[in-house]
Each structure stands twice: as C-alpha cells, then as structure tokens.
C-alpha cells in the first residue's frame, strides 16, 4: 500500500519539483520510504517520471522498494495496493521467477506486464492502481483494479505548455500540490453531484481538469503523453451462465478470500463492530488458520450509538484479542480538523473510518481487515426490498394517465405531513412523486431514492449560474450509459446489487475508506470486495443469495458457523458516529459559522440564502431533515476553503 505519482514531460527541475510536491503530499500513505525514477528522454524531448511513497507490507527489505525496474527489459513500475494472488502468479512464471528481485507482489506484476502486457490485467486479483512504462515502445500503461478499491487520478495538458502533457497521482490533492494546473477551479458538475449523492461520481472529480480512472479501466499513452487507447478489462459478472454455485462452494470462496487477504509480512488487525459482516470476517479468519486475531471496536459515550457489548460477545465467542477504543465527543472535536483533512474529496462519510484507522495504527498495526461489502453481495440494504417492488408497480401506475404523481403526492403527504419549520421532509418516500414521474428504470429509481434532497430543494441550493449543469440522475452521462449497458438483462435484485457495488460502495465507501485509512498510514483490506469471490456468489441461485432480503441469510450460514445465531438477531445499524446529536451541540458553532458565511458558500457553487434556510430548519428540528444533508454541504464548503479551489 503506497502513494504513486508521475509526470510525462520535459526533464526539468520544475517538473522534478512538481513530482516531489506530489509525493510529499502523500507522505502519510507511505511513511516508510520514497523513491524517484526517470526514463531516458524520447526523441520529442519528453520522458516519464515516477514518484513513490512506501508503506512496507510485503517484502520489507530494500528489494521491495519502488519505483521498480525490470532487470531484463528495463521496464519500470509504480504500484499502489496489493496483488493477492501474486504467489500463484509467481509459481506460474516457472524458472523466470528465479530472476525476480523481490519476494513481494510488485516484482511479480512487473514480470507479468513485461511478458504479457495488458493481457496480464484480467489475471490480477487484488486492490491496485499502477503505472507501467514499456521501455521498448516508450508507452505508459495506467490501470485500476476491477472493484475500484484503489484510486488513480490524472490531468492532461495537450498543448504541452509548461513542459508537461500528462500527470497522475493517488490523490486529487497531490495533483493540486504539484501546481501543474494553472489556477485550478471547482468543477461545477461536482457541486451538483455532491448535492445529489453526497460525493462526486467518477470520472468527474471536484476539480476541473482532473479526472478519475474508472474501476476496471486502463489507459495507454504514448511517449508524448497522448492517449492511445482507453478501455475496460473487466465486467461485473451476471451469473446467467455457468453451474449454480453450491453452499459448499460459497463457504469455500468466502474462507479462501479471507485467507488471501491475510497475506502479509506484518501483523494485521480486524475492525469488529459486532454486526454480521465484520463478525463473519473475524470468524472466517479463525477458520482460515489465523493463529491470533486482533480485533478492534470503536465505542461511544452515547448509548444509542454504542455497539461495544455486541462486538465483545462476538470477540469472546471467536477468541480474538479484543480492544475497545472510546471516542468521546471532546476527543472527536480535538481531532476533527485532522480527520476532515484526511478526505481527498468532499464527502459526507469517511470520518468513522479515520478514527478507527487511527486507533488501530496507534496500536502498532499497519494492516486491518474490514467487513465492507457484505450488504452489496447478499442483499442487506433496504433498497433490495423497496426498489424492485416499486419498479414492478410503475407499469400499473403509469397506465393511470397522469394520476400517479398526484396519488404519490397524496401518499407522501399522508406519510410525512406538511413541511415542518418551513422545510419539506427530504426522506426517501417523500421523493415518491419524483420516483414515479422520472423512475422508468431501476437505475433512475435507485438514484432518486439515494439522493440527499428533493429535486426542488436541489435546484434551490445550487447557484443559479451553474444550475443548468446539474446532472440527470446525478450521474455523468458517460457513466450513466456504462451502467445502463452493464445492467441490461439482469434481474431486479442483481441490478440493485450491481448498483450498490458501483455507486454506494464504489464511489462512496471505498473511496472514503481508502483516503481516511491511508491518512492514518493504515492499509485496509476488504475480503468481501473481491473479484474471485464475486464470480462465485454471482452463480448462486437468486433465492439462495438474496432471500429473505435484508437478512443476508447466505452469509450468516457460510460465515458465522460455530457462533450463536441469536447474537445477531437485532435490527441492522450502520457504523456511524453520533453526528445528529453532535451537530446540534458542540459542532453547531463551527457548522453554523461555515454555512452562514455567504461569500464562502457562494464560492462553493451554492446559494447562500437557501443554505442558511436549510441550517436554520435543521437546528429547529425540521422533520425528515437528516444530519447527512447538513454534513454534505459542510464538507463541500470546507473542502473548497481548505484547498483554495473555487468556481
């Protein structure tokens, strides 16, 4: 796990300084070392320059340092992440493995790319983003893992002004730190995306001119930094072909995935909340042969947010070495600025991961397993229940020739009443009229259901100058088209699973977890977010995989063997900090002063008067106005201020 950066441009002191600024900005991603490398200059005068920050996990010796150069070909690579099947790939190399300079995964990947080029991509199992320079062709390959666990951002400069044409890094802020972009500006489409989703949807980022590589995507560039080809090398499996996976295969796949994610040359811990997913990871780790399991739980003073007792029961049943970390309101406030600074882009999530990661790192660990991904695999969210039913009923409602919207408005009014404190409820079912009016597809229904605000509220909050740039369904058009193609022919439940994987998981949870944990110099691994596991789970009979929806019965049966099932017979609760209470108490002054700062709010592409009304309604206890709405706006405005990126 590391931070990577690079530039295609002239071999000037200015570009070298820019590259160093990028790696310096990512020092917490790799506090164990840094390295730099430059290719020979091409006839056009440009060269490839790599920078790397190292967090030593595999092959702790200097042989594992990067950038790494292939001894035979002279090819070079920088890698962020882990290739979990590197031992298998190493064995397949035969005698060629004897020449590898390192016992870790980077050397295996470098050899595979040097001999097989892009054909090696589909064979990789892991979380990764890398840049590979082919000496013989002078071309650069950049790629990102299929599930989108590790990020890769880039900027292009086709004119070649200032002697560079292409730059990449593991963080948006690293590219900003390079100072290669002249007068960087806030991306107007990102403002609309944050208002809709609570985060920016790739390939867009918060900054104009900086783009994200998509999950499972790769790109070739020539020696002058021109894009030769951009392509996807992986597609979400649909399970419509192949033999139905048996319960034994599912159990074996889960255990094997956890075992693969435990490969490390340093000790590792496990985030344990006491819920089904994290408990299954800990239990499977025990079954996979872990001699000792170190588990950690974040606890709170607020009783309604504290699940420590459940985590303790699970830890005792499995036999882990368990630690509880108390996060008080005052401690949260004392470290809030640092936690907020951990987020690479605006988001209403991620702080819980930062505090947990910080505690585990302080306990002496560099690696931790987390249970993220179980809900997406096995239908654990409310969306698996609500959206297919709603979609099935739309055909009947639309046949009523205009009445559906009026009927939905009456139903929403009956469920939630009138606006309270002058503000309409921003709940999922308050959006029912919009769902019926616009929700012709499960994709549209999903996006409307997950939107933070009602459509009219979104329009009121965004600045008039950029209101026309609000994206349909909250998605960039190219990303929307790609999702539509990927969803074609799938069942309703499989469609929701893909959307949860690609949107809620891929664009929010994975991105924020990566940024927050790496800011604590901790590598988080996700055994339930794994291509090999997904290929097996996708072949399950749909009823066995998803039914009864929200119960994750298949994961319970396969992952919680040997544990008392009654320990998990309680309502589902997410791993969240008690923000709602804190926002109305100790955090209120900071949040209020930010949301009521009219020039600052306007610089973030928002309407100051509308934002002020929203804040006042929240403080007054407006019904159906949740803390996530407030935090999303605060995150955007603060990010703009701290990074000095405005419209």
Give the DSSP letter of residue 501. I
Q: What is the pLDDT of residue 22?
A: 98
- More confident call, 392 vs 344: 344
pLDDT above 70 for 169: yes
By three-state DSSP, how is residue 231 classified?
A: strand
**What is d(CA 136, CA 119) in angstroms, rounded to the nearest whole number?**
17
Count CB atoms within 10 A of the CB of residue 459.
Answer: 16
Q: What is the pLDDT of residue 177?
A: 98
In this structure, which topology does domain 247-379+496-568 adopt according to CATH? Answer: Rossmann fold (3.40.50)
Q: What is the pLDDT of residue 387?
A: 93
By three-state DSSP, how is residue 575 classified?
A: coil
Class at the top of the CATH hierarchy for domain 2-232: alpha beta
Q: What is the pLDDT of residue 284?
A: 97
pLDDT above 60 for 193: yes
Arithmetic mean of pLDDT, 611-625: 91
Burial of 233 (0-12, 13-18, 19+ CB in 10 A): middle
pLDDT in tens, 93-128: 988 888 898 999 999 999 999 999 999 999 999 999
pLDDT above 70 for 421: no
Peptide bond into 492 cis (omega under 30): no
- Using 50, 70 and 90 to split pLDDT, how confident is the model at 414? low
Strand partners, 605: none
- Using 50, 70 and 90 to split pLDDT, how confident is the model at 481? very high
pLDDT above 90 for 436: no
pTM (two decimals): 0.95
Q: What is the pLDDT of residue 427?
A: 81
Q: What is the pLDDT of residue 426?
A: 84
Per-domain residue ranges for the chain?
Answer: 2-232, 247-379+496-568
Question: In the block, which residue shows the tokens 């606890």?
Answer: 299
Could you give phi then psi for residue 516, rounded to 5 degrees?
A: -70, -40
End-to-end distance of the chain based on CA atoms, in angstroms? 34
Where would I find the H helices in 69-119? 86-92, 105-116
Q: Say if CB 119 and CB 42 are below 8 A apart.
A: no
Q: What is the pLDDT of residue 409?
A: 55
**What is d(CA 339, CA 351) in angstroms, rounded to the nearest whole number?**
6
**What is d(CA 602, CA 294) in angstroms, rounded to the nearest whole number?**
47
């Amino acid at each position: 796990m590391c931070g990577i950066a690079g530039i295609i441009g002239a071999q000037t002191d200015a570009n070298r300084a820019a590259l160093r600024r990028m790696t310096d900005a990512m020092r917490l991603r790799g506090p164990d070392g840094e390295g730099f490398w430059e290719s020979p200059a091409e006839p056009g005068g440009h060269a490839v320059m790599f920078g790397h920050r190292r967090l030593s996990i595999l092959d702790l010796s200097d042989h594992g340092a990067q950038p790494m150069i292939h001894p035979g070909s002279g090819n070079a690579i920088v890698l962020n992440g882990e290739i979990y099947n590197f031992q298998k790939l190493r064995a397949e190399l035969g005698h060629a493995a004897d020449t590898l300079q390192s016992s870790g995964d980077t050397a295996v990947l470098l050899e595979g790319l040097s001999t097989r080029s892009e054909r090696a991509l589909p064979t990789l199992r892991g979380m990764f983003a890398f840049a590979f320079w082919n000496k013989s062709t002078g071309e650069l390959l950049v790629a990102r893992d299929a599930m989108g666990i590790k990020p890769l951002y880039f900027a292009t400069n086709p004119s070649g002004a200032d002697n560079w044409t292409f730059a990449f890094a593991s963080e948006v802020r690293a590219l900003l730190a390079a100072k290669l972009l002249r007068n960087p500006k806030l991306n107007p489409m990102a403002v609309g995306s944050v208002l809709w989703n609570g985060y920016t949807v790739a390939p867009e980022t918060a900054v104009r001119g900086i783009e994200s590589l998509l999950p499972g995507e790769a790109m070739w560039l020539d020696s002058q930094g021109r894009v030769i080809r951009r392509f996807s090398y992986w597609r979400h499996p649909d399970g419509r072909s192949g033999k139905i996976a048996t319960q034994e295969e599912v159990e074996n796949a889960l255990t094997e995935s956890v075992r693969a994610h435990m490969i490390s040359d340093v000790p590792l811990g496990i985030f344990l909340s006491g819920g089904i997913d994290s408990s299954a990871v800990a239990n499977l780790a025990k079954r996979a042969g872990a001699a000792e399991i170190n588990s950690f739980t974040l606890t709170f003073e607020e009783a309604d947010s504290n699940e420590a007792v459940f985590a303790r029961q699970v830890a005792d049943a499995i036999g882990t070495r368990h630690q509880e970390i108390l996060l008080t309101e005052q401690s949260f406030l004392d470290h809030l600025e640092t936690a907020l600074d951990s987020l690479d882009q605006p988001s209403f999530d991620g702080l819980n991961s930062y505090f947990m990661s910080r505690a585990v790192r302080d306990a002496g660990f560099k690696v931790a397993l987390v249970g993220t991904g179980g809900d997406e695999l096995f239908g654990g969210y409310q969306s698996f229940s609500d959206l297919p039913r709603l979609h099935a009923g739309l055909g009947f409602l639309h046949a009523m020739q205009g009445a559906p919207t009026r009927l939905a408005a009456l139903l929403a009014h009956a469920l939630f009443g009138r606006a309270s404190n002058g503000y309409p409820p921003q709940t999922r079912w308050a959006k029912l009229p919009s769902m019926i009016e616009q929700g012709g597809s499960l994709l549209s229904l999903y996006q409307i259901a997950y939107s933070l605000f009602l459509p009219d509220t979104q329009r009121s909050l965004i600045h008039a100058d950029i209101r026309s740039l609000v994206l349909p369904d909250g998605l960039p058009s190219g990303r929307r088209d790609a999702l539509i193609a990927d969803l074609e022919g799938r069942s309703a439940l499989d469609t929701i699973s893909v959307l949860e994987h690609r949107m809620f998981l891929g664009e929010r949870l994975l991105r924020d977890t990566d940024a927050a944990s790496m800011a604590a110099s901790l590598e988080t691994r996700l055994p339930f977010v794994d291509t090999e596991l997904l290929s097996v789970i996708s072949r399950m009979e749909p009823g066995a995989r998803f039914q009864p929806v929200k119960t994750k019965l298949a994961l319970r049966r396969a992952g919680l063997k040997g544990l008392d099932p009654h320990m998990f017979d309680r309502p589902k609760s997410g791993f969240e900090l008690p923000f709602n209470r804190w926002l109305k108490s100790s955090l209120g002054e900071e949040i209020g002063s930010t949301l009521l700062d009219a020039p600052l709010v306007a610089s973030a592409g928002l309407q100051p008067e509308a934002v002020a009304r929203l804040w006042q309604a929240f403080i007054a206890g407006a019904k159906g106005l949740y803390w996530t709405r407030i935090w999303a706006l605060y995150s955007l405005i603060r990010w703009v201020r701290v990074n000095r990126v405005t419209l």
